[in-house]
Amino acid sequence: VSTILIIDDDDQLRISFERLLKEEGYAVRTAASGEAGIRMIDDAIPDLVLLDVRLPGMSGLEAFKQIHRIESKLPVIIMTAFGTTETAIEATKMGAFDYVIKPFDVPQMLSTIRQALEAGRFMRSPVDMDASPDKIQGEAIIGKSPAMQEVYKAIGRVSATDATVLVRGESGSGKELVARALYQHSARSENPFW
Amino acid sequence: MTAKQEALTEAARLRDIAMAIIVTHVLLVMLLAYLLVYQILNPLRALLLETGRSDPVEVSGDVVQTLSQSVRGLIEDVGQTQVALEKSRENLLHSEKMAMVGKLAAGMAHSVRNPFTSVKMRLFSLSRSLKLSGTQKEDFDVISEEIDHIDTIVQNFLEFSRPPRLKMQAVSPSTVVDTAVKLLCYRLDSYNVKATIHRDRELPAVNADPDQFKEVLVNLVVNACEAMTGGGAIDIHERVLQTSTDRQQAEIRITDDGPGIPPAAVKKVFDPFLHHQGRRHGAGVEHCLPNHPRAWGARRSHLGEGRGTTFTIVLPIIGGNL
């Protein structure tokens, strides 16, 4: 079960959001301030943080910076009630997963939450390359054919560079796995993957 | 000593005195001339050069005459500057007001949007857990839609108080007038209003944001339509103005034959969200004119008393200020 931490100073919003997400099958924790939220993250790292921009005490942006320092791969969705999205854009540039403007469309928000959780999961679960079937843990790119050997070599060659890579292939051929393998073998593997 | 000798001595003394006086006078005149040239005329010339900086003056002529002309020019300049200052002070006051509205809007948006979010989430949960009949489903949809509607109002309020980023470009006001009227043709029909454009030829290009400009015209026309209950006529006059300072300006006048703006409300026309007898009167005017002064080279309003209202928009023509 994925754990989601909601940091927002509006009491009713926290309660409503918690109820909604629990119905969706997530484990939910809530905090009314950035300071309280960071203490919770220090305690146990959740799978996703929903963070309001305007908070009493520490600002949302400052809270985001600290969360990012604690765990750079923890996806954070920034929420803002202002039409001005400068802070939100700023946070996204610094590595937040996404930002949404309140009041958001609920199904859309749930979909964003699913994507963020998936991105977090991708970063944590390594993609094995050329693993023998009995050794596979989680996901892996398998195959020993010369063509697959070329794919492994290409991933190895390019992942060390700063080049932008376009992964092409038919639907279902495993482009996403290749992309994740590239990320995990790159110098950026400590940074978020989204 | 004889009397003759005495007289001669006296004459010689007088001659000496006269000579001394003449010499003194010559010296005095020279001193005065020196004073005149170096202490008065030269500073005057320098002054003249200072005052007539904008256009080169002929210093060799009557210096005092030229100087007095220059000073008169200066006084006029001061008068104009004072008017401009007064205007900019007004603008500043207005900007301050807008900044306050902006702060209020931002505060309100924050306080209103959090409850909206909760309401939306609760509605979503509720609609999912309940088995709803057709009409109940419709109830839910309407509630959701109306919440979005209110949020749009909040958003508009926020945007209203925040000047947009302008995309300035050379555009003929005539093109913008055409677009606005075309855009409004159905609305004009529904108000039973006939709009006529009076134009000899297309106006030369001005520097403006076409979208914002169109918005201004649309708002002015819609306001006029709302003021003319039961229909009427709107006349849009376009012409090129040749001002005294050889500046060319494009003028667009929008006149309706409605009831006019009540004298008490005239002063408030450019205030945001003016309502008169339940009708929006000034909101549209405000919405795009003083709020975005950068979009406008100039603005001016003639408010008719009794019958009809005329709004005049004046914009400097590109390359027309020579």
CB-CB contact of B45 with B63 (8 Å): yes
User: Does residue B76 register a pLDDT over 80?
Assistant: yes
What does the angle CA B130 – CA B133 – CA B139 come to, to the nearest 5 degrees?
85
Averaging pLDDT over each range in A60-69, A81-90, A93-102, B154-163, which range is the top one? A60-69
Residue with more model confidence, A46 or A136:
A46
Question: Which H or E run includes A63?
Answer: helix A60-70
Q: Which residues of A touch B109 (CB under 8 A)?
A: 81-83
B115-172 tens-digit pLDDT: 989 999 998 888 888 888 888 888 888 888 888 888 877 777 777 666 556 778 889 9
User: Does residue B54 register a pLDDT over 60?
Assistant: no
ipTM beyond cut 0.85: no
What is the SS3 assignment for B208-238?
ECHHHHHHHHHHHHHHHHHHCCCCEEEEEEE
Question: Alpha-carbon distance A157 to A186, whole Å?
Answer: 10
Q: Tell me whether B158 touches chain A (CB under 8 Å).
A: yes
Q: Which of B114, B121, B158 sits opposite A106 (nearest CB)?
A: B121
Structure token pair of residue B212: 């914002």
pLDDT the model gives residue A137: 59
Shortest Cα–Cα distance, B214 to chain A (Å):
24
% of chain A at pLDDT higher than 70: 90
Question: How many CB atoms are closer than 10 A to CB B239?
Answer: 15
User: Does residue A95 register a pLDDT over 90?
Assistant: no
Q: From the candidates B103, B104, B117, B126, which should be mutated to test the interface with A, based on the most A CB atoms within 10 A?
A: B117
Task: Label residue B96 by pLDDT band (50, 70, 90).
Answer: confident
Question: Which H or E run includes B265?
Answer: helix B263-266
Contact criterion met (CB < 8 Å) for B124 and A106: yes
**For B164, nearest residue in chain A (alpha carbons):** A84
Which burial class, exposed, middle or buried, applies to B45 when counting CB atoms under 10 A from its CB (0-12, 13-18, 19+)? Answer: middle
CB-CB contact of B274 with B267 (8 Å): no
pLDDT the model gives residue B63: 73
User: Does residue B271 register a pLDDT over 70?
Assistant: no
Average pLDDT over residues B1-16: 88
Task: Label residue B27 by pLDDT band (50, 70, 90).
Answer: very high
User: Does residue B275 register a pLDDT over 50?
Assistant: no
Question: Alpha-carbon distance A148 to A131, whole Å?
Answer: 12
Q: Which residues of A touch B124 (CB under 8 A)?
A: 20, 106-107
C-alpha B34: how far from its chain's center?
52
Task: Identify the weakest region by mean pLDDT among A36-40, A167-171, B275-279.
Answer: B275-279
pLDDT the model gives residue A153: 78
Average pLDDT over residues B290-310: 49
Residue with more model confidence, B14 or A90:
B14
User: Does residue B274 register a pLDDT over 80?
Assistant: no
Question: Alpha-carbon distance B233 to B59, whole Å?
Answer: 60
Closest CA to B50 of B15, B74, B83: B74
Task: Label residue B292 by pLDDT band (50, 70, 90).
Answer: very low
Closest CA to A151 of A119, A121, A175: A175
User: Does residue B57 register a pLDDT over 70?
Assistant: no
Task: Label residue A63 by pLDDT band (50, 70, 90).
Answer: very high
Residue with more model confidence, B265 or B29:
B29
Q: Which of B110, B119, B147 sits opposite A81 (nearest CB)?
A: B110
pLDDT the model gives residue B294: 37
Running DSSP on this structure, what letter comes out for residue B295? Answer: G
Which burial class, exposed, middle or buried, applies to B118 when counting CB atoms under 10 A from its CB (0-12, 13-18, 19+)? Answer: buried
Structure token pair of residue B181: 């009227």
The overall pTM is greater than 0.80: no
Structure token pair of residue B165: 């980023």
Residue with more model confidence, B302 or B263:
B263
Question: Alpha-carbon distance B117 to A9, whole Å?
Answer: 13
User: Does residue B16 register a pLDDT over 80?
Assistant: yes
Residue with more model confidence, B294 or B178:
B178
Running DSSP on this structure, what letter comes out for residue A24? Answer: T
How does the average pLDDT of chain A come out, rounded? Answer: 84
CB-CB contact of A32 with A68 (8 Å): no
Averaging pLDDT over each range in A25-39, A153-167, B109-123, B243-257, which range is the top one? A25-39
pLDDT the model gives residue B299: 43
Q: Which of B114, B122, B155 sits opposite A10 (nearest CB)?
A: B114
Tell me the three state secondary structure of residue B262. Answer: coil
Q: Tell me whether B114 touches chain A (CB under 8 Å).
A: yes
Whether the bond into A103 is cis, omega within 30 of 0: yes
Shortest Cα–Cα distance, B150 to chain A (Å):
11
pLDDT the model gives residue B72: 86
- DSSP per position, B47-108: HHHHHT-SS----SS-HHHHHHHHHHHHHHHHHHHHHHHHHHHHHHHHHHHHHHHHHHHHHH
Task: Identify the weakest region by mean pLDDT among A118-127, B78-87, B131-140, B234-243.
Answer: A118-127
Q: Which residues of B touch A16 (CB under 8 A)?
A: 117-118, 121-122
Task: Identify the weakest region by mean pLDDT among A148-152, B144-148, B206-210.
Answer: A148-152
Task: Identify the weakest region by mean pLDDT among A51-55, A58-62, B62-66.
Answer: B62-66
User: Does residue B25 register a pLDDT over 90?
Assistant: yes
Q: From the candidates A14, A15, A16, which should be mutated to test the interface with B, based on the most B CB atoms within 10 A?
A: A16
Q: From the candidates B112, B113, B130, which should be mutated to test the interface with A, based on the most A CB atoms within 10 A?
A: B113
Closest CA to B217 of B317, B309, B311, B98: B311
How does the average pLDDT of chain B come out, rounded? Answer: 78
